[in-house]
Amino acid sequence: MSGLFETRRQQERRRTKRRLLTFFFILCIGGSVAGGFYLGRQEQVGREDALKAEIETLNKAQNDLVTGLAQVQAAADEAKSAYEELETQYRADVPNDDILEVARLAGQRLDAGIPLDRLLYVLQRVDEQDDCDSIDVKRFRPTTRLTPSDMPGSSVSFNNGALQITATGDTDVDEERNPVSWYDPAEPLDITVELIDGSEIKFSGTLPITHREVRGDDEHRFAFSEGPRSFMLVTYQHCPFP
């Protein structure tokens, strides 16, 4: 009986010991879980605080940027307004390009010895509309080194013979690059206008050519263009000047 009783007591102690160990183990696990939760919570709180601080910093930077942009826009508007005001004042004080060109030409004529009263007389007589003769169009053959200067059709006259026009140019070539007798309309031409008083007007250029010439009380207006092969078209108009 004594041995059996001791065995039961030993069994009871072992059970008690296991209960204590189990309780201690559960207590340790619970403590670890609670500690981990606490530490995790503290870390989360720290992250939230850091994020809040970063958000506040970004919001402040955004507000500063908006304020800066508003200041820049205000400065730009002010500069634009000042520029427009200056441009308006400049246009009011400085003549436009047309007036400057007239002043430049008038200065050149005065420097050339033209009397001021003559210039004023011309300006006063200029009308808004030209009182010109009707436009006349004719054609003629410019001469080349292969054609004689008195070749038929090598000149043309206008204004009842008051002026006669001739022209010289380079020879054209055929498909085999051989020179031909008619002029090359793509090359420069030398044009001579002989007036009834024996004076001449000379100018050069590549078609189409326009030219205006004032002689005394007459203004001569010319326009030259390519015509049928070997021919050149000339448009002439006479206008009183001024």
Give 54-110 as a DSSP string. HHHHHHHHHHHHHHHHHHHHHHHHHHHHHHHHHHHHHHHHS--HHHHHHHHHHHHHH
**pLDDT tens sequence across 229-239:** 999 999 999 99
Predicted TM-score (pTM) of the model is 0.52
Inform me whether the pLDDT recorded for 28 exceeds 90: no
Measured at the CA of 36, the angle between CA 35 and CA 41, to 5 degrees, comes to: 100
| pLDDT confidence band for 67 (50 / 70 / 90) | confident
Inform me whether the pLDDT recorded for 16 exceeds 70: yes
**pLDDT tens sequence across 99-120:** 778 788 788 878 888 788 777 7
198: which DSSP letter? Answer: S
What are phi and psi for residue 200, nearest 5 degrees?
A: -130, 150
- Is residue 226 a contact partner of residue 210, using CB atoms and an 8 Å limit? no
Q: Which residue has the higher pLDDT, 37 or 156?
A: 156
Length of the chain: 242
The tokens for 117 are 């009263």
pLDDT of residue 139: 96
